[in-house]
Amino acid sequence: MWRIVAVDSALLNGVSEHLMLMKGKMLRPTLLLLSSEVEQSAESRAAAYAAVVELIHLATLVHDDAVDHSVLRRGMPTINALFTHQVAVIAGDFLYSRAVQELVRLGDLEALRVFAKASNELTLGEMRQLSALDALQFSEDDYEFLIRAKTAALFSGACEVGALCGAARFRDRMAAYGSHLGMAFQVVDDLLDYTGASETVGKPTGLDLKEHKVTLPLIAALRTMPRSSREAVDALFATSEPDDTQISRVIGIVLEEGGLDYARERGEEYASRADEVLAGLPDSPARRALQDTLTYVMERRA
Amino acid sequence: MWRIVAVDSALLNGVSEHLMLMKGKMLRPTLLLLSSEVEQSAESRAAAYAAVVELIHLATLVHDDAVDHSVLRRGMPTINALFTHQVAVIAGDFLYSRAVQELVRLGDLEALRVFAKASNELTLGEMRQLSALDALQFSEDDYEFLIRAKTAALFSGACEVGALCGAARFRDRMAAYGSHLGMAFQVVDDLLDYTGASETVGKPTGLDLKEHKVTLPLIAALRTMPRSSREAVDALFATSEPDDTQISRVIGIVLEEGGLDYARERGEEYASRADEVLAGLPDSPARRALQDTLTYVMERRA
């Protein structure tokens, strides 16, 4: 990653340094590398692709945080908070165009096609989120479209490009695994916003509600909640900066209405689809690690 | 261009429609098409590349305007003004990733390499501009680096990719022509900010000074101006929103110190270098049109 972003600009090097410190689970590069090994014949270029997928991911995080005016990410200041909003916009463009340059250098048009498509889908997901006029009208179909575009597309791309580096005949299968895993990952991520503790998630619980983001637990709960609960939800969404009492109240309502259970079940469904895809692969250490990844994604508390 | 950006999103279609209305001189696609014809054997794919280069240009304009909080461009509202800042950031990402997808579809890695490099240079230029701490310390070398990255890189890329579509043996030559032309274009553009009338340029005269942007005429004038003039310049740069009187005063100083003449001469130098490059090409209608383009760039008043 450092090799790809190396540049003669103190400001951009500062941005890159901060991003490297901020680095998270490295899930996308891990998936790419594991996917390249399912036939136990991974090519060395997989490492460069793994760096690229993380850089693409970082570029989107930097723009997401700028667009949302977020100040914290993984418990650390965001680029827009630490530098400026302007720097965040241009730094995201820089990271993305460097990633494209590296893809060109690697010379595989198929890998470029996969990542270009995933990157474009990410923007469609973001745009869908921005154009939601009435958040509480957001349907489960809308939610599915959104998380497919925002999360599953790049997970899928990581696994597909991994397969291209040593297990090309499993390309479609790995793409499907990555997509199901990505859906499960995002559902669990959205659940953690309702259940996780601030220390472990690295962001305050209830942040989505605070920012008026409607995710699956609330979508499910809205279907059955009585009028008095609905009024509490409406009140929260009508308040520009809802306080902790309002947020706790709505989290309680969502729990009561079975919204968390419903989301958990949908997450499990995606995870078992991913597991079924893996069942069609030959046994290997990589396949077992990909199964463990599913368990990790479903059981993580942070 | 419409084919490449077609998408199922009312918001993105709204953005694209506005950008198409806003469209300017289409200089980059014109250069690409003319460059493809210098051996009178242009390939049909040149048209798709011409669309791509304009989309890349539009993507950068959208992000530039968002970063600068500009409200007008070519006399029309910017995307951030007409929609929101958020929409502008994501729409820029959308346009750029669509352009990359089209480049992948066209399947020529060399063209991709050229445009990926130019796009990355654009971000380096923008970043350099953002990291200038003391605007008045901006040297002629800094200015040259900036306009090379911000303007000449994509002009050069347009001409180089044009050459790849039918005149490949002139690839380097066309890249050099585009680079010199781009430098001349930007110097003249910066001059017009000092000399042009609001009606013809589509933006108010003196806007760069208003935004504390230091361009070549001022850089040159700063070298010789007496202390009283320098104090007027310092005062303008110390005022967060300088008024028209301050701006007129500084424009007068720059004129007096020969800053406009100096910049004009530098522009002419770049233009003659571009002309020398053309002299090495076989005679053709395209070559004559590229010579006319030089004249147009140097003589334009808008």
Q: Which amino acid is at A8?
A: D
Contacts of B12 in chain A (CB under 8 A): 124, 127
Residue B77's SS3 state is strand
The pLDDT of A112-126, averaged and rounded, is 96
Q: Touching check for A224 and chain B: CB below 8 Å?
A: no
Residue A69's SS3 state is coil
Q: Touching check for A194 and chain B: CB below 8 Å?
A: no
Low-confidence ranges of chain B (pLDDT < 50): 198, 201-204
Q: Touching check for B228 and chain A: CB below 8 Å?
A: no
Q: How much is the ipTM here? A: 0.93
Does A117 fall in a domain?
yes
Q: Touching check for A55 and chain B: CB below 8 Å?
A: no
E strands, chain B, in order? 72-73, 76-77
pLDDT above 50: residue A203 = no
How many structural domains compose chain A? 1
DSSP state of B76: E
pLDDT digits (tens, 9 = 90+) for B233-273: 999 999 999 999 999 999 999 999 999 999 999 999 999 99
Ranges A85-89, A106-110, A200-204, B237-241: which has the least confidence:
A200-204
Number of neighbouring beta carbons within 10 Å of residue A106: 17
Residue in A66, A100, A124 nearest the CB of B100: A100
Does A300 fall in a domain?
no
Q: Which amino acid is at B95?
A: L
Mean of the per-residue pLDDT values of chain A:
93
Asked whether A145 and A129 are in contact (CB, 8 A), the reply is: no
Contacts of A66 in chain B (CB under 8 A): 89
Q: Touching check for A6 and chain B: CB below 8 Å?
A: no
Asked whether B76 and B70 are in contact (CB, 8 A), the reply is: no
The proportion of chain A whose per-residue pLDDT surpasses 70, expressed as a percent, equals: 97
Does A302 fall in a domain?
no
Per the listing, tokens 């490949």 go with: B168
Does A227 fall in a domain?
yes
Task: Give me the CATH number covering residue B192.
Answer: 1.10.600.10
DSSP state of A282: P
Q: Which amino acid is at B206?
A: G
Which of A123, A145, A148, A211 to mutate against chain B (most B CBs within 10 Å)? A123
Residue in A100, A117, A127 nearest the CB of B90: A127
Nearest-neighbour CA in chain B from A28: distance (Å) = 19
Does A301 fall in a domain?
no
pLDDT above 80: residue A111 = yes
Q: B94, A127: Cβ pair inside 8 Å?
A: yes
What pLDDT is recorded for position B197?
55
Chain B residue with CA closest to A12: the answer is B127
Q: A127, B98: Cβ pair inside 8 Å?
A: no
For B63-66, the CB contacts below 8 A with 24+ separation are B63/A89, B63/A90, B63/A93, B63/B88, B63/B89, B63/B92, B63/B126, B64/B126, B66/A89, B66/B92
Q: Touching check for A69 and chain B: CB below 8 Å?
A: no
Nearest-neighbour CA in chain B from A224: distance (Å) = 30
Phi then psi dihedrals of residue B76, to 5 deg: -120, 155
CA distance B276 to B270: 10
CA distance A157 to A27: 13
The pLDDT of A108-134, averaged and rounded, is 92
Domain range holding A68?
2-295
Residue B241's SS3 state is coil
The pLDDT of A77-89, averaged and rounded, is 93
Closest CA to A37 of A276, A277, A289: A289
Asked whether B233 and B218 are in contact (CB, 8 A), the reply is: yes
Question: Could you write out the DSSP letters of every residue in A123-169?
Answer: HHHHHHHHH-SSGGG--HHHHHHHHIIIIIHHHHHHHHHHHHTT-GG
Q: Which amino acid is at B34?
A: L
Q: Touching check for A140 and chain B: CB below 8 Å?
A: no
What pLDDT is recorded for position B132?
76
What pLDDT is recorded for position A74?
82
Q: Touching check for B107 and chain A: CB below 8 Å?
A: yes
Q: What angle (nearest 5°) sits at the alpha carbon of residue B285, between those of residues B283 and B289?
A: 105
